[in-house]
Structure 1
């Protein structure tokens, strides 16, 4: 089965009638349906499927009795941002299945184990912490912190894992799992227009620029919207709103910076209530890591001043941080020999490959997105490019696993 035909089969799962696009938070009915679909497809190809103690699915292509070490791993995630596109995450999983099927159909048999890996909660859309599954496995996220996270319904990750057959007491760093991976290759739809401008269907990833998420909290006095005079208000929404505008101005002043407020949560959130607190989620990225913290410091200092001027208080907490991840140079050189026409691209989007890069040789492939838009219903990839990407991945996997 081709990668494009597999993507078509998934097109009805997790559609969001309100936002458009797809909403597939981790372990939601939609994401669970995708996980079940993946297991079925992997078993159809004769792969041995297991789910580990961090909720990561592994689908092994190896011979009986062969040691599962120094494996060539590929895969991605199945969850999405709210109202996201069809390709972000699932394309990498689908392409991995299609690549294995292409390899099997050609009669190729790997000399090293090949494994498809599906990581949970890559987007962080349910618990606010991106690359949670790979981070737990690699030890970059502590189990205590992760398990205590709460979603919008008040469910902790421990609750969610427990309901889905994952023992919270066993969640955490898994050095043996990481050590099984001799190389990791993640295919992903491009989340920009680099390939559009270069007129190429597939690119080789060179690095992921440094990025982090911070939560700014503004606290004031909750009160009645109709009875509280404007002069008597301590409304935290005002410094929150002015900070959002200041974020844009601060980012424009730093060449190459990218700063975004994509989530604002008022407490308690009633339309006729002056909020008692407002949480503002700040995403900041820059290729030069040394430029990140000064920009965040400038924004938070300005936010503090705006809060004082409104008789409110402000605080900041760093929710996640990923330094610039340079992919393995030896892998990149091998990829360029296998795919000589593929350009090299840096990306501003975070990926599980970036989490694994400090621990095992890792690299990425990107498939052209003609819209140049991602995390949106307008994200897209042509069927021909989807199938070209799966074929490119098969060539890479054959090269790596023939050793």
Structure 2
């Protein structure tokens, strides 16, 4: 009997050691790389890190007995800093997955690093469709939204209302260029026209000259192909210059609930936008958003909700695969539907695009809003296969 017990103990020890050996470095390390000090700090930033921690906590901060560790960094909206941080994290700190990364130029730079070094990349913040197009990666997964999804939905909605002529104020870097191009392409398809546009530096505080050009264009719609603090400043100054009062419609092609909160309903009311998440949609979204608000003092943006969803799906894939091997986990992530408070039974395409629903929203008037953060009316539910570019037409060489 003693021999049998000893043999059983030895086998259990061997099995435990074999299982543990499937996890590299005895830790699952997630690097949250975000804008923690600039124009996207409100819609991503520390809120994204908190969203990732909420996901890890649902697993008890460990998967299959291996500790989950989350580290954070600030890319300062600079592609070279983002790339260097990602490289340093992977080479010296043994990071298994890089997550978040708002700013398309930064994300495209990190995509190269993670692809070359075979590390998973969970994006919930950048908008460029190249991330799941010509620059796609077997290790890259694009959550939450992209430029095509938000720009196309907004452009279609306004053209259907008879607002066909557009003028663009565009952030002068990869994200803004892509956002404008996606909206312009949709306008061309459905009979809209582009009367012109101007590009502004990222993080500018003075939009006066750009808004005067938009005003003099006579366009029915002024499309803001920017995000975060740039959008807030542009919309505020447009109101001060009297563009809405003169009959021009303001279209924020990427707008988050945080931006509406900063603008206030008297200025933001009536804006049409597309988001993949709104905190007040279901009992599940309300419960999770309450947990988030208890940590942050505010409701989550769609980007922050997307971070939670992406990290949870990654950890679930590690749990199911029994390893943090990047190739096996990537295959498991693609093989399992995404299921959480944000999305239900959502597939991940071969190009890494998460095919979640988008929602066409409209900002409420002050009279319609009944309680804090009660900002949106849901106008339309857009399924993922309608919201996003067909993966077969994305230009990604991974698509079979």
- TM-score normalized with structure 2 length: 0.27
Please report the TM-score for the alignment, with normalisation by the length of structure 1.
0.27
If asked which structure has higher relative contact order (CA below 8 Å, sep 6+), I would say 1
Higher helix share: 2
